[in-house]
Amino acid sequence: MTKPTPVSVCGAAGRMGQRLVQLVAENPELALAGAVDRRDSPFLGLDAGHIAGVGTLGVNVADDFGPAAAASRVYLDFSSPEGAEEHVLTAARTGTAAVIGVTALSEKATAVIREAAETIPVVLAPNMSFGVNLMYRIAAEAASVLGPDYEMEIVESHHDRKKDAPSGTALALLDRLAAARGLDPAACAVYGRHGTPGARPRNEIGVHAVRGGEIVGTHTVIFAGPGEVLEITHRAQSRDALAGGAIRAAVWIRGKQPGLYSFGDVLGLTG
């Protein structure tokens, strides 16, 4: 029988991190080799399995990714933009494959990840839900087929603790819709409206963020055209929509050549 692949989780004490620890523990192809959290985390030194509610796993939460990276073939990162940049630099030195789901990455952090992908395989995706990644393709095709007579709006909703807005998924949708129409997303995007903005320009794409309560994540693309409206909506019912995708990516990336991959690559939706 093939030995399970050793995996580390960065951001292990967060809500997503705890779910990832649970799923790694349940997956016979994977084994938890490291758990990392921020340097001021109150969970440092505690067993990651206890924090996640799956019993003793023999892996304590640490604030130094170096030993965890050296002990792992793959790491899952749902920590923070700053953490993601630091972790991928370490992974490039240890040859550890990366699955990064952190959003709100700076241009510098994104550049660092791209450079690291010349050395290690990296899956970088703001959303690892199967449905959302299919939505990217469907929405882009709709934008292309319907044409400029159908005006496009993106509305996303999340819980009241989400720090960034708009969501990484909404920005990914913006990129795909703009590309389908031959537009520059930086030039055509309008983030919310107020005051008296006047009539809507033809090539504008509105992006709107809603925050409140316990909303896991909802994304809607609206195509408003002559006499009709088409809406494409994805609703995440739980974090499993994202965590399950991350686990699938961790299994998929084993043995891949260095490079920057999307979750569409994991699902076979690209190319």
Q: Report the catalytic residues.
A: 158, 162
Question: What does each C-alpha distance from 37 to 34, 44, 74 come to in angstroms?
Answer: 10, 7, 16
Distance CA 100, CA 116 (A): 12
* ∠ CA 71-72-76, rounded to 5°: 135
Neighbours of 48 (CB within 10 A): 31
Order of strands across the sheet that contains 61-62: 61-62, 30-36, 5-10, 74-77, 97-100, 121-124, 259-261
User: For 106, what's the count of Cα atoms within 13 Å in the CB-facing half-sphere?
Assistant: 10
Q: Which amino acid is at 267?
A: L
Distance CA 4, CA 207 (A): 42
Pick from 126, 133, 110: which is nearest to 162 by CA?
126
Neighbours of 271 (CB within 10 A): 5
Q: Give yes or no for a contact between 22 and 238, defined as CB atoms under 8 angstroms apart.
A: no
The total number of residues written for the chain in this structure: 271
Distance CA 79, CA 198 (A): 41
Pick from 211, 121, 139, 135: which is nearest to 181 by CA?
139
